């Protein structure tokens, strides 16, 4: 569908049922800011059939995949690979990565925050729900939340340098 003076968009589902959106800009470029508090930082595709999903996204969008770096490759995500620029990937795809049984294929967007614990508290005060409390990982402090309407997203506080 057209968004007048901004672009065209579509919402679709991959063969595993993972819903995604596509944006073709004509006026509004989309992401202008990344990797700053409050902005998009990562997109995580979690699929019930990772091989099928990876083939689909490679065929449709030209995704090329890279394995996780050796320092985190021992995490229990054997089928997880990153996509995008090798030096600065835009996200990763793999299996359900700790999702509860019965969870359908999905994309999980991550937003950067300066303080994960403060952001989780603010989300709760704003009517959101904590699905996975903030926890330290090799990638930073991460929490998974749902907004008041049920949309799921993650927050990540980058690790201290």
**Which residues partner with 42 through β-bridges?**
110
Residue 31 vs residue 159, higher pLDDT: 159
83 pLDDT higher than 80: yes
Q: What is the pLDDT confidence band of residue 93, given thresholds at 50, 70 and 90?
A: very high
pTM: 0.88
Domains and CATH numbers, the chain: 37-157 (3.10.180.10)
Average pLDDT over residues 139-154: 95
Compute the mean pLDDT over every residue in the chain, rounded to the nearest whole number: 90
- What distance in Å separates the CA atoms of residue 73 and residue 128, rounded to the nearest whole number? 32
161 pLDDT exceeds 70? Answer: no
For the record, the structure tokens of 136 come out as: 């330290």
């Amino acid at each position: 569908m057209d968004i007048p003076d901004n672009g065209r968009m579509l919402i679709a589902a991959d063969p595993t049922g993972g819903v995604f959106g596509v944006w073709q800009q004509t006026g509004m470029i989309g992401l202008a800011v990344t990797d700053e508090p409050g902005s998009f930082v990562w997109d995580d595709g979690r699929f019930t059939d990772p091989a099928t999903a990876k083939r689909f996204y490679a065929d449709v969008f030209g995704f090329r995949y890279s394995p996780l770096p050796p320092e985190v490759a021992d995490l229990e995500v054997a089928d997880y690979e990153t996509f995008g620029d090798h030096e600065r990937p835009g996200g990763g795809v793999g299996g359900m990565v700790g999702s509860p049984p019965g969870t359908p294929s999905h994309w999980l967007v991550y937003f950067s925050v300066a303080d994960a614990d403060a952001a989780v508290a603010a989300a709760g005060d704003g009517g959101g729900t904590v699905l996975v409390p903030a926890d330290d990982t090799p990638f930073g402090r991460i929490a998974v939340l749902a907004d008041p309407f049920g949309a799921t997203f993650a927050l990540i506080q980058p690790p201290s340098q």
